[in-house]
Every structure is written in structure tokens, then in C-alpha cells.
């Protein structure tokens, strides 16, 4: 709990699968990227979401992020159309406009709290795609106000050895319960307004309300829609904001990479705003994002539970056992990535020693691969390009950035100074 990132990384020399104890609970930690891929793909039918998600499920609902089995597959089918390529092309305009609007509000030499600013921006983007009306203004305000409390509560409960911590009459629990209740009420009231309105507003919430299971013809209940809205708000805000925050931190430390980024922007875009058709042309931007996900992945722990006995790397894992891997630390294998702690986007542009596809899983793999991966790649590309075209960010005097592992990995004290681009 003092330094979970260092602890997870320290397990690699002990083997590809290492048994540790959280309290009295035995947990099998998978340190090999190829074995993680095998777990998520070949063994997908033999594992389910683990204890971490049992703790999270009552808090953020049983959406596609936390659900299991047939219900999970049903929800994926119902949500899939929201992330079709044609829809993402439409979302790109929202991403570009929201980012340009936010960047236009900044002032030269302003000291920016980068993580907070990018959290607000990604929240505006996902909210604009989820809700096209003013009905959801309260949802956005509740989420913005209470999300830090929710993240802190989830992080604490995730690593606690017993669920009894949730019942302790301490201020942190009271704040957490108030935050989740307020957000739940706001989301359900918004759903009720949309149902009463009855119109298709061309947004994701309208699509969720209209979605029907092709096998049964049934739609989703208000509770099910609530859980998916929460999953999309969480998934579409925090991880993206944190990845972008770490990316700008690295650009501030590496002016030669920033210069290369600006050269690509001039070559591909000139003076115009980025569009969906440009995203695939921004090859250096993609390398920057990929290297950021490798070195600073926002998720430090993922859990699965063995539904039946399985074998990983010669280790027999019994039915019901908890299995853990760390996306944040599994990409630090020096055999795959020379100088693994060095930020080097060029490693993704070289064809001389390509990284095996199964060894790099920033959005998971198999049947539980992230539904919004294409949305996230597009949003990060648009955001980086739009901000970098107008502003250069450098570390503020006295800022000492350190990773802070709660439910996700935050850049603590990431303050940067804004300078306009000529």
C-alpha cells in the first residue's frame, strides 16, 4: 500500500506467475505480458471479473465494465453501435471543437493544473457525446464535483484486505457514499427526462434508450442504462485524461520530441483544424500516445477469478483463485523494451525489432477488450494535436511530479507553464 507500483514491478524476477497474499487472501500475480494475453484470450471462458470488481460493482453498477458472462456479452452487443466508425467520425468534430474552445481560454504564462484541466476537458467531450441536451447538466456537475471522492474510495477499498472497511463510520466512507448517491440520483433523473421526452436527440443516451436485444427484442431498464452511463463517464474521462497528462509531462521534458510533433502538425495539417480523416496520418502522435500508454498506463491493477482450474506458465491455479496483472508495470520488461523506464516513442516507429502484438495490450484483449478503444485513440490524437498547435507546456518552477496510485495512477503535482506557439 505504501508503493504498489514498485511492489508490482518487484515481482518480475520471482517468475512469470507469483503467489502473494493480501491479508489472508492468496493472489496469483501474472508478470509476463504473453501470459496475460493467454489469460485474456485463450482462457477467456475460464475466468471472470475478480474480487476488485466485486468491490467496485455496488459502487458504479453492473455495466459492461464490471459485468460477467452472458449479461456482459448482451450489454456489449447493445453498446457496440455507439462506437461504430461512422459515429466516431461524428464525435471527432465534438472533440476538436471542445478542445479548441478550452485551449482558447488559456493565457500566456498561465500555470496550468494539467491533470485537472484535462479531466474537465475529457468530461466535456464524453458528456457532449452522451447527452446532446441540457437535461444532463446536473449529471456533469455531480460527476465533476464528486469524482475525486469516488476514485479515492474505490482505490482504498480495492487494496483493503477485508470489505469491512466499507462499513467503518469514518468521514471518508461518508463522503464516498454521499458522492455515489448524488451521482446516481442525477443520472436516473436524466434518464427519466429522456423517456418522458420521447425524442431521439442523436446522442448515446438516446441510442441506449432505443437499443433492443436482437435475440429477445427487449430493451434496457433504467437501472441498466444508469450503469452503462456511469461506465462510459468513468471510462471516457479518467483514463484518457491521465494518459494525456503524462504525455504532456513527457513533452515538457523532451523539447526535441515536441519539435518533431510540431513538424508533423505543420506537414499534415498546416493551419487547419484536425478532422477524422487526418487521425490516421498523425503517425508520430500515435507513437507518442503508445509510448505514454506503455510507460504511464493509468491502470495499475486488474483482477480476474478462475471459474475452473487453469494452468499459466506451468503453474496450476485452482478454481475460485484470484488472478492479478498490472498493465502499468507489465510493459517494463527489459527483454521486450530496452531501457524500459526511458520515454522513447521511436521504438514504435522502427520496423527492425517490432514488439509482439500479444505483449502490448493497452486496451486489453479478447472478449473484454475495451469497447471504446477507437474512440480513445481518436480523442487523444485530436486533443494532443489541437493543444500542441497553439501551446507549448513546460514544467512550472517547484513542480515535482510523482506517480500516485489510487484506483488509477495520477501524476501528483503536474503544474505546467503555458507559452503560445508562434
Extract the annotated binding site for heme.
370
Which residues make up each annotated binding site? 370
Interacting residues of 174 by C-beta distance below 8 A, sequence separation 6+? none
Which of 327, 330, 405, 317 lies closest to 26, judged by CA?
A: 317
* Contact present, 61 and 230 (Cβ < 8 Å): yes
The set of long-range contacts for 116-122, using a CB threshold of 8 Å and a minimum separation of 24, is 118/241, 118/244, 118/245, 118/248, 118/383, 119/147, 119/237, 119/238, 119/241, 120/144, 121/241, 121/383, 122/236, 122/237, 122/238, 122/240, 122/241, 122/244, 122/379, 122/383
Which of 92, 38, 94 lies closest to 275, judged by CA?
A: 92
Interacting residues of 405 by C-beta distance below 8 A, sequence separation 6+? 3, 4, 5, 155, 300, 328
CA distance 304 to 213: 27
Residue 121: Cβ-neighbour burial (10 angstroms; 0-12, 13-18, 19+): buried
CB atoms within 10 A of CB 188: 16
Residue 13: Cβ-neighbour burial (10 angstroms; 0-12, 13-18, 19+): exposed
Amino acid at each position: 500500500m505504501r508503493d504498489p507500483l514498485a511492489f508490482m514491478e518487484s515481482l518480475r524476477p520471482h517468475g512469470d506467475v507469483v503467489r502473494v497474499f493480501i491479508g489472508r487472501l492468496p493472489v496469483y500475480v501474472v508478470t509476463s505480458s504473453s501470459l496475460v494475453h493467454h489469460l485474456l484470450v485463450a482462457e477467456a471462458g475460464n475466468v471472470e471479473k475478480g474480487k476488485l470488481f466485486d468491490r467496485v460493482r455496488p459502487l458504479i453498477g453492473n455495466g459492461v465494465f464490471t459485468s460477467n458472462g452472458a449479461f456482459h456479452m448482451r450489454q456489449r452487443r447493445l453498446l457496440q453501435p455507439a462506437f461504430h466508425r461512422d459515429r466516431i467520425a461524428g464525435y471527432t468534430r465534438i472533440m476538436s471543437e471542445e478542445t479548441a474552445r478550452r485551449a482558447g481560454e488559456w493565457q500566456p504564462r498561465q500555470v496550468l493544473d494539467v491533470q485537472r484541466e484535462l479531466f474537465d476537458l475529457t468530461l466535456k467531450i464524453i458528456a457532449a457525446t452522451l447527452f446532446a441536451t441540457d437535461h444532463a447538466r446536473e449529471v456533469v456537475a455531480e460527476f465533476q464535483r464528486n469524482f475525486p471522492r469516488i476514485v479515492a474510495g474505490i482505490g482504498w477499498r480495492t487494496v483493503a484486505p477485508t470489505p469491512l472497511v466499507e462499513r467503518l463510520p469514518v468521514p471518508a466512507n461518508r463522503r464516498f457514499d454521499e458522492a455515489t448517491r448524488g451521482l446516481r440520483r442525477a443520472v436516473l433523473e436524466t434518464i427519466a427526462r429522456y423517456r418522458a421526452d420521447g425524442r431521439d436527440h442523436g446522442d448515446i443516451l438516446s441510442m441506449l434508450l432505443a437499443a433492443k436485444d436482437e435475440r429477445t427484442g427487449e430493451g434496457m431498464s433504467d437501472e441498466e442504462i444508469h450503469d452503462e452511463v456511469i461506465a462510459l463517464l468513468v471510462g471516457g474521462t479518467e483514463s484518457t485524461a491521465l494518459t494525456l497528462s503524462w504525455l504532456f509531462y513527457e513533452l515538457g521534458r523532451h523539447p526535441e520530441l515536441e519539435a518533431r510533433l510540431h513538424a508533423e502538425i505543420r506537414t499534415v495539417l498546416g493551419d487547419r483544424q484536425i478532422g477524422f480523416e487526418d487521425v490516421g496520418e498523425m503517425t508520430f502522435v500515435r507513437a507518442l500516445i503508445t509510448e505514454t500508454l506503455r510507460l504511464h498506463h493509468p491502470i495499475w491493477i486488474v483482477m480476474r477469478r478462475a471459474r475452473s482450474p487453469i494452468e499459466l506458465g506451468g503453474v496450476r491455479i485452482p478454481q475460485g483463485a484470484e488472478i492479478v496483472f498490472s498493465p502499468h508495470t507489465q510493459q517494463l520488461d527489459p527483454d521486450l523494451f530496452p531501457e524500459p523506464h526511458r520515454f522513447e516513442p521511436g521504438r514504435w516507429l522502427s520496423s527492425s525489432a517490432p514488439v509482439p502484438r500479444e505483449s502490448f495490450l493497452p486496451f486489453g484483449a479478447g472478449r473484454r477488450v475495451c469497447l471504446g478503444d477507437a474512440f480513445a485513440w481518436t480523442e487523444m490524437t485530436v486533443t494532443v494535436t489541437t493543444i500542441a498547435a497553439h501551446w507549448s507546456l513546460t514544467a512550472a518552477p517547484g513542480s515535482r511530479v510523482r506517480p500516485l496510485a489510487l484506483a488509477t495512477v495520477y501524476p501528483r503535482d503536474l503544474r505546467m507553464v503555458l507559452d503560445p506557439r508562434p
